[in-house]
Amino acid sequence: MSLLDPYIPLLFYLAVWVVIYALAVLLKADKHGIIARPYYLMLKTVVFNSWIERIGGRFRRGWLAFFDIGAAMGIGLLIFVIYSFINNAVGLFRHSSSAGPTLLIIPLPGLTIGWDIFPYILLAIAVLLIPHEVAHGIASVLDKVPLKSSGVFMAVFLPGGFVEIDEENLAKRKARTKLRVFAAGSFTNVATWALVLVLLVALYQPAPTGVLVTGFTNGSPAQTAGLPQWSIITQVNNNATPDVQHLGSYLGSLSPGTNVTVHFSNPSQTLKVTTGKSDTNSSRAILGVQTANYVPLRYQFLPVVSSYQLLTAFGWMQLILLGVALVNMLPLFPFDGDRYLDTLLGVLGLKNTKNIRTVASVISLGLLGSNIILSYILFGTIFPR
């Protein structure tokens, strides 16, 4: 296996990107509203403006209530994210078991993440950014703040959408309008996160019932023995394996070369496997399988593979939607939380808010940076691959 093999898909992707960029330049795509740069492609148009205005006008009362709730909850989100970052940073500094790693996901497939999860992250980012920006647009048009343009973009690996609001017009509006607009994106992300959570609870059972085989390692003993991919392991030698942890614990008690009987979700199916040895611990027995907890659907309307893919997509949406929604409400320039705080200070009667905003930005940057740095020191490279 060549050292370049893991990077071939990435190089191919970048080559395709270069070709697309070159074609956009040669065909003068800017005449059609497509802005081409080496690191992004953007479709900037006013076509979506009327669509956003129609949505905002059709359910005006409902949207006003929704974004009023968002404006009020913005205070809670701002306080909660600061408290969470302080609490987690202190926990990381003290090596507390309650503190967790801060995930900073830079989606570079083949480098920081695996190609197998790249589509899930793309989907999660799209579900994050598009409703986020549309929410800003709807909150603006509700109070007749004009939209300059809107569109979609692809920044090499990052998809998304944007809405360009008339900032000069917005600056002249009442504080209530500004609070709605600035909190709209994060509040919509939180609402979307809650919707995904409801779908998870409604569709899936509350606990795993086995171990799903998603792939194999090189020279896998299980693959050699004929174990099919996407099998669900429920027992090994009559020892229940309801999840990955139980399977790993039992295999850890065995020695390499041990003959085991693997049981599947179909009770009539079993397979004899001779365990191999771990590359990192020669005394540890392995099956040579890549695994995930198998959480069954409440109603089996999807095959096992599709059920796993949907659950994985929901998992990434949960992680990214809530995480970005909270970070975006940090009072840190240029996040929405900074502008939300500025408006809030104005409501409290403070006219010169620059110094307070600067201090808030410095503190927020320090909290964000300390969480990432301490997380890296304690947990190492935590990019999911």
| 12 or 216, higher pLDDT | 216
pLDDT at res. 69: 97
Q: pLDDT for 271-312, tens place per residue?
A: 999 999 888 888 889 999 999 999 999 998 999 999 999 999
Would you kindly state where each structural domain of the chain is located, as residue ranges? 7-38, 49-204+311-379, 210-294
Dist CA 147 CA 59 (whole Å):
18
The CATH fold of domain 210-294: Pdz3 Domain (2.30.42)
Least confident of 34-43, 87-96, 123-132: 87-96
pLDDT at res. 384: 45
pLDDT at res. 385: 44
pLDDT at res. 7: 66
pLDDT at res. 295: 96
pLDDT at res. 92: 77
Contact 292, 214 (CB under 8 A): yes
Eight-class DSSP state of 235: E
pLDDT at res. 100: 58
Burial class (CB in 10 A: 0-12, 13-18, 19+), 362: exposed
Q: pLDDT for 228-267, tens place per residue?
A: 999 999 999 989 999 999 999 999 999 999 999 999 988 7
Per the document, the length of the chain is 385
Dist CA 116 CA 105 (whole Å):
15
Residue 74 predicted with pLDDT over 90:
yes
Dist CA 363 CA 154 (whole Å):
32
Residues facing 138 on adjacent strands: none
Measured in whole angstroms, the distance separating CA 98 from the mean position of its chain's CA atoms is: 22
